[in-house]
Structure formats: structure tokens, C-alpha cells
Amino acid sequence: MKTLPEVETAKQLMNEATRWSVMRWLREKKRVRKTADDANAALDRVSEELRQRWPDNIKAAYHALGANEADSSRKGNTGQKTTAKNSREFVVARQLKDADDKAFRARMAAEKTFDDAEKRLSTSLAREGCQKAILSWELHERAIAENEKVCP
């Protein structure tokens, strides 16, 4: 995967921000949020473009996984259905979904940490949020790399 300028800019800003004072955080928090949002939007855009290029059988398997998980959670059933779950398409789709889910969870953890830091005016939480944001972008980049392997 080629590096995205929005993500590189955000990573540099987050690394710099780990050394900021409370006053600097108060002055710069809007710029940090905008830069992070730009990085997330760029990664989301690339992910969506790659999903559009997936072969139809991978798309179908990926969507079936999401539907089966929704059905299982509504019914309280955690077991897998036996409908060709071991086929190559479902194995690949499961890997893609796991990578996407891991990146999403990391992103949500970073956002929650930043929200908590802002509420408490905590530079230590803000620094932690910076590290979590960088990790979430790295995980999203890995998920994109997995997606690229599937695309023709």
C-alpha cells in the first residue's frame, strides 16, 4: 500500500502532540481533530475503493458473514452456520472482516480516549489518545494491504 499524505501528516502531528502542554492542547485540539478526521476519511476512501474491486464471490461471502453475525447476536447464538463456511471465499472474507473490525475497534478506542481527555483536560489521556490513533491508522493500513491482495 502506498502511504497516504493525510495519514503521514496525522502521524507526525500526533507524535509531536505527545509533548504538548495543557494550554497547547487547548489551542490545538481543533487542528488535531481535523487532521485525524482527514486521515480517517482518506483511509476509509481507499478501503471503499478496494471493496468495490473485490470479486463478487468475496463480496457475497463478506456480506454473508455480517448478516450471519447479526442473526447470531439477535438470537443469542454464537455458533457458526455450516453453510460452506470453510470455503476459500469465506476464509478470505473472514480474514478481511477481522482486519477491518480490529482497525475499527482501535479507532473507536482512540476517539473515546480523546473525548475523555477533553472532558478531564488531561494531557496524559490526550497523549494516550495520540498513541491509540497512530495504532488505529497502522491497523487500518494493514487491513487495506489485506484488501489489496484480493483485488484483481
Q: How far apart are CA 90 and CA 42, in angstroms?
A: 27
DSSP for 17-65 reads: HTT--HHHHHHHHHHHHHHHHHHHHHHHHHHHHHHHHS-HHHHHHHHHH
Confidence at residue 65, expressed as pLDDT on a 0 to 100 scale: 87
**Residue whose grid cell is 491482495:** 149
pLDDT reading at 37 higher than 70: yes
Residue 81: which pLDDT band, with cuts at 50, 70 and 90? very low
Set of cell numbers at residue 143? 487491513
Residue 66: band (very low, low, confident or very high) from pLDDT cuts 50, 70, 90: confident
97 contacts 116 by C-beta, under 8 angstroms: no
Alpha-carbon distance of 74 to 27, in angstroms, equals 45
pLDDT band at 96 (very low <50, low <70, confident <90, very high): very high
For the entire predicted model, the pTM comes to 0.85
d(CA 81, CA 69): 10
Pair 129, 33: CB distance under 8 Å: no
Under 8 Å CB-to-CB from 68, ≥6 apart: which residues?
80, 81
Q: Rounded distance, CA 57 to CA 13, Å? A: 40
